Structure 1
Amino acid sequence: MTPAMRLPVEQRMYIPSPGEASDVELLPAGDVTGGVLRVGGTVRRPHQTQSFAVADYLDWLENAGFKGSPRFLGRDPSGRDVLTFMPGDCSAAVPEQWVQSEDLLASVALLLRRLHAASAGFIPSEHPFPRHPIPAERLHAGQDRLVCHLDVTPQNVVVRGGLAVGLIDFDLAGPATAFRDSFNTAMHWVPLRDPVDAWPGWETLDPFRRLRIFADVCGWTAEERRRLPEFGADAAGLSYDRMEHNAGTLGGGWARMWADGVGGMIRRRRAWLQANGGRLVSALTD
């Protein structure tokens, strides 16, 4: 739909088509958001505080010609957000062996780079993204902010033919920088974590080789490569503070993850990044 034909996101209502209710599938719950359904060719998600900000962002990406994100269609009679369904494969909570493919890793980096190019110029003025009480300014270092996905996990990437073609679950989207978003993506896909926290079957992967593949496709600068260990350690500290805050104030999935020990995993990741800083920089620069 062309921008001139669209209603403002808060005015859009989605009218279900006859027969849609006969084709319903409960989709895997995310860490925080549950109750997500596929109904025909659409996805129904609980409406949230940031829903209209995300909807404006998805409109912008559609206008920019980015095909790797769902489209916001409106709210259904139950008040749920309705988006287009993106067919393909997504990882399970414990990623399968096919997720380890280096071709897939490189395609994730390329898709993320295309997302950042399409996001350039978007200013969320009508519906600003909610501000977190624990700010992330120390990770931006004065750089221009860019609205990013910020949760490109294996579970949120749509894969077809072994390559990444789409991104879903924009719940955590908001202003950041391209480097922060790409580091966060590498953290999950390389992955960058203490080996004690490796997913089953991922223990033998070479994170230094995989990081170089990802960084080269993402186009990280020499300066970004050199400061990755320090940046990653700072990001882990911020993540710990935010997770602890969200667990105590928002509860739900945040509290469950905290009870399951995510705080300890974040601290181990920080220590691993600091202990392996030299190897990481060498892998990225030699």
Structure 2
Amino acid sequence: MQQPEEQPLSGGNVSDGVVRVGDTVRRPTGPWTPAVHALLTHLHDTGFRTAPRPLGIDDQGREVLTFVPGQVVWPDRFALLEPARRVARVARLIRDFHDAVEGFTPPPDAQWQVLIPAEGADIIAHQDLAPWNLVTGGEDEWAFIDWDTAAPGSRLWDVAYALHGFVPLSAHPSWRRADAADRVRIFVDAYGLDEAERRDLVPLLGRRTRSMHDFLRAQAALGHQPWATLWAEGHGDAWRSDAEYIEQREEQWARALLTG
């Protein structure tokens, strides 16, 4: 029987070697792959379906995952997150993931791909919940992809990063929104943070964003790819500008989250 043709998949900034084969995706593996597969299996076993399901390793040593049909939001499909109730839906999906992962016990020999050490380690966080990793299909077919950088982190660490991407909290004129504070509140209300968590989140928004700039700068200085190329292309400058935009408006985010 003839095997389906391999179709290279693009999107995001790190997609070399990622292909679609029929209803599956094949990706390069790493030391973290067994732990990530254990995590994804746990999520599906608990009823969380907003992620690919692992199917093992193929004869070329690549991981095999179920293919998630639909459209990726980033960079030119932000209309998929309108009206604001769709931002609330993203927040609820993240809350569902965080609740599902609470019961996950990593394998004793688990290795994780830790790119940026997180603040806190109460869960295994996705670490890259962003529009470039959200596939939107039908009403019941939204899913987060690219779990290979999942690693110990915290709920707020994931939420702060997700707010940056999904509101978005951006200094760039093409992405900056006059209703950013309203969307922050809608997102956080839908996720269900309490008052103490909201207070902790406000300063974390800037720190989490700035951590991306610092990571890219450090990796570029060492010549590590693909980060050095991203730094040369200006991604570091974009993260720094976004961090400054967020930090300069901390009072605005606090008012949105902590007042009536």
**TM-score w.r.t. length of structure 1:** 0.82
Q: Is the alpha carbon distance of 1:252 and 1:267 closer, same or farther for their aligned partners in structure 2, counting shifts above 3 Å?
A: same
| RMSD over equivalenced CA pairs, Å | 2.2
Return structure 1 stretches of 4+ with deviation > 4 angstroms.
none
Q: Is the alpha carbon distance of 1:26 and 1:103 closer, same or farther for their aligned partners in structure 2, counting shifts above 3 Å?
A: farther
Q: Is the alpha carbon distance of 1:207 and 1:221 closer, same or farther for their aligned partners in structure 2, counting shifts above 3 Å?
A: same
Match of 1:83 in 2: 65
Provide the rounded CA distance (Å) in 2 between the counterparts of 1:214 and 1:145.
Answer: 21
Within the candidate set 90, 112, 127, 1:129 is matched to 112
Provide the rounded CA distance (Å) in 2 between the counterparts of 1:205 and 1:48.
Answer: 42
Provide the rounded CA distance (Å) in 1 between the counterparts of 2:132 and 2:148.
Answer: 13
Checking the alignment, whether the CA contact within 8 Å between 1:158 and 1:167 is kept in structure 2 is yes
Match of 1:156 in 2: 133
Match of 2:29 in 1: 47
1:265 correspondence with 2:248: no
Checking the alignment, whether the CA contact within 8 Å between 2:181 and 2:256 is kept in structure 1 is yes
Alignment of 1:130-279 (within 5 A): 130-132=113-115, 135-136=117-118, 139-140=119-120, 145-161=122-138, 165-194=142-171, 197-198=172-173, 200=174, 202-249=175-222, 251-279=224-252
Within the candidate set 250, 255, 258, 1:282 is matched to 255
Provide the rounded CA distance (Å) in 2 between the counterparts of 1:131 and 1:275.
Answer: 29
Q: Which moved more, 1:104-113 or 1:161-170?
A: 161-170
Within the candidate set 3, 6, 17, 1:35 is matched to 17
Q: For 1:38, what is the secondary structure of its paired residue? A: strand
**For residues 214-266 of structure 1, what are the alpha-carbon distances to aligned partners after superposition, in whole Å with 9 as ceiling and x for unaligned?**
00001112122223332123223432322222334463321121112222222
Provide the rounded CA distance (Å) in 2 between the counterparts of 1:231 and 1:276.
Answer: 13
Within the candidate set 72, 76, 83, 1:101 is matched to 83
Q: Which runs of 5+ in 2 are unaligned?
A: none
Percent identical across equivalent pairs?
32
Q: Which runs of 5+ in 1 are unaligned?
A: 1-17
Checking the alignment, whether the CA contact within 8 Å between 1:103 and 1:163 is kept in structure 2 is no
Q: Is the alpha carbon distance of 1:209 and 1:240 closer, same or farther for their aligned partners in structure 2, counting shifts above 3 Å?
A: same
Q: Is the alpha carbon distance of 1:43 and 1:247 closer, same or farther for their aligned partners in structure 2, counting shifts above 3 Å?
A: same
Aligned residues: 258
Checking the alignment, whether the CA contact within 8 Å between 1:148 and 1:175 is kept in structure 2 is yes
Provide the rounded CA distance (Å) in 1 between the counterparts of 2:222 and 2:15.
Answer: 16
